[in-house]
Chains A and B, each alone.
Chain A
């Protein structure tokens, strides 16, 4: 749990342009609120998200990273999110293995029509990150013993 009362989670959301970014747009135009802690980065496809970006976010102090793409089978580029799924399954498992809480990383499939889901997912993820508190672990990792 966080000791810093002013702490607000920093959450990076990578969204594919065709489904999830549009889903986020729909959440916006439907006024389906979620916390301002979520900042979205637009990608052409979830498969553009390099594990380096995620680690970079953690290195810079992000408390959670979420990656959203089209539902498997619906990828605008037909197969991109299948690769995403494998990459992230392995990367997140590895982060868990080095002791970074599993709850800080997530993949969600959100279509362009799922504004409500986008909002729900973000609310849920932020709540989960708040529960986990500040990402002190990766912060600690930055200080050598």
Chain B
């Protein structure tokens, strides 16, 4: 046995209740001062074992885990080698635990207000649920209205009910809820602090329209002479005026001036909207405003956008007007869209007779042009589009090229089969090599993998089921929140299965597609789950803080300020105080760590040349002992 070890026990399921009891009994029977569990990753069960130790009267931080599963038995096929390594890992953990010191968690406050970043269906649902529990919540939305992507959709699968008919009541509810504050046309600029007490600085961009005065009558829009701005809501398929309300049901129903398009703001001449506004809401001198607020929890609901289809030259998206993306088709199909809901092709406004859908444009793409993941929603919305078109225009032929049709969801496969069987949508398993225009006719060249034949189809329109990607603001927001992000810019969960709505950064929660592709019902359920996590947090009066924090030995501190400069949390400050250094009394400038602010990264410990700054739970001596034990 290793020096210091007085009791060792082998048990297959140490994390089970019986296993935990073995630990508790051993602590009591042998009066243990430290426990090493050789088991799975500490990221899995460190908390379990610490709790067990605490129940047996041992300080929970006197427990160390040797990770002999993920880091050993699961990857080393040679049993002897693996066992040898497991012994080394155990030795290192024992060496560390003998130097552990009992630690006590501190307490910090909880600000009972939540911030939701993003005002799509995910953000709205999260905010509604938090507000219903009685906590104030702010939604920060970068666009002029809440609603997000869902507002742009025509119908929803698999029920085919109208998207805005189910969304707009929620938007209205969010506006009416007195616990919810909508901060639209705004972006979060800075976030500091930590779980329970974040501080955010929000930039509310100038609308040039007084939000509390505008009645949303829309007269300004009709009179505005500048009508060349691309209508973002309609995916740029038509134009809008420089002063505009994004769409009829926008919340808040308030106009906004696009300063790139506004003649008055650009040249100083015009001012027509101000003249026609009977409410007197127009204010060309409006400046960006800043809102600073404290929050106990922050929810990321930053959503997604379709990827840029012009990267895929073979589909001629940039050159042929009649090659559109699925989201563009949503707008074309929508009664409030550019064609008033009549299916007309963009190039000449004629009725199409043959439409080809191409699946997985940029999804499941390992070439590097697209995304390696499945965007999850495209199979279903394409079935929806195909079905709706065939239903409304039986004369239109619909072909769908697919790699696989993926329909795992309640009533999803039934929905797809209805499209294929009942509505005669022509599903072709295979990929499209090229779409091109020949004598004013779109030609689609593809392959049918089942008959193993080359296929050439004439089409009047081609619809690309483009992959979805996280909104480009997600990365910036995640960095601000110190939430980790994966290689595709989706926010990482604290645990992919067991903590899917939390970020590893305490106090940051995930709602909707920012975490990974999902459809509306999934988004809504995740939004609710995130809300319940937030409510659970805000319901607490105090939080216990991580006791593995930096600590400065004032006798060793030089007062040089290096640690203060590298601290990302401003947790280190300096105090000039009388120090009794082994009988020598001297006034010195020494570092002090605010334990509520310190998150325990250890950056300060390395810049401290004297070693005055050390990290509890990961002390210099402990790590050196681990190094020693491993290199024995």
Contact = CB atoms under 8 A, between A and B. Distances in A.
Interface stretch (B269-277, B427-435, B465-473, B624-632): B624-632
Interface of B: 41-44, 67, 69-72, 74-78, 81-82, 84-85, 88-89, 92, 479, 482, 484-487, 492, 504-505, 548, 566, 568-569, 599-603, 605-607, 615, 618, 620, 623-624, 626-628, 630-632
Given A44-B602, A48-B602, A113-B487, A56 B627 contact: yes
Interface string A45-60: 1011111110011001
Contacts of B615: 44, 48
Interface of A: 10, 12, 17-19, 21-22, 24-29, 31-36, 39-45, 47-53, 56-57, 60-62, 70, 73-80, 83, 87, 111-114, 119
Contacts of A61: 631
B104 to A, nearest CB: 18
Contacts of A79: 566, 568, 603
Contact of A47 (B89, B504, B606): B606
B484 A18 contact: yes
A77 B482 contact: yes
A44 B601 contact: yes
Contacts of B618: 43-44, 48
Given A80-B603, A83-B603, A111-B487, 20 more contacts: A10-B630, A25-B67, A32-B75, A36-B85, A47-B601, A47-B602, A47-B606, A48-B601, A50-B605, A56-B628, A57-B631, A60-B627, A60-B631, A76-B601, A78-B479, A80-B601, A80-B602, A83-B607, A112-B492, A112-B504
Given A48-B601, A50-B606, A80-B601, A28 B75 contact: yes
Contacts, number: 156
Nearest to A49: B606
A13 to B, nearest CB: 9
B492 A73 contact: no
B628 A60 contact: yes
Contacts of B479: 73-74, 78
B264 to A, nearest CB: 40
Contacts of A113: 486-487, 492
A34 B602 contact: no
25 contacts: A10-B631, A12-B627, A17-B43, A18-B484, A28-B74, A29-B70, A35-B76, A40-B71, A41-B92, A41-B626, A44-B601, A44-B602, A48-B605, A53-B627, A60-B628, A62-B627, A70-B484, A73-B479, A77-B599, A80-B601, A111-B486, A112-B486, A112-B492, A113-B486, A114-B487
Contacts of B487: 111, 113-114
Given A36-B78, A45-B603, A49-B606, A12 B484 contact: no
Q: Looking at B77, B486, B602, B615, which has the most chain A CB atoms within 10 Å of its CB?
A: B602
B603 A28 contact: no
A112 B568 contact: no
Contacts of B43: 17, 21-22, 25
Nearest 3 pairs between A and B by C-beta?
Answer: A28-B70, A48-B602, A60-B631
B236 to A, nearest CB: 31
A75 B482 contact: yes
A120 B347 CA distance: 50
A39 B75 contact: no
A12 B84 CA distance: 15
Nearest to A45: B601
B568 A24 contact: no
Nearest to A65: B627
B623 A41 contact: yes
A106 to B, nearest CB: 17
Nearest to A21: B43
Contacts of B605: 48, 50
B606 A36 contact: no
A18 B505 CA distance: 9
A110 B121 CA distance: 33
Contact of A36 (B81, B600, B632): B81
A84 to B, nearest CB: 9
A122 to B, nearest CB: 9
Contacts of A40: 67, 71
A86 B82 CA distance: 35
Contact of A29 (B74, B623, B631): B74
Contacts of A26: 70
A83 to B, nearest CB: 6
B82 A83 contact: no
A49 B486 CA distance: 24
B484 A76 contact: yes
B483 to A, nearest CB: 9
A65 B102 CA distance: 30
A18 B506 CA distance: 12
Contacts of A111: 484, 486-487, 492
A17 to B, nearest CB: 8
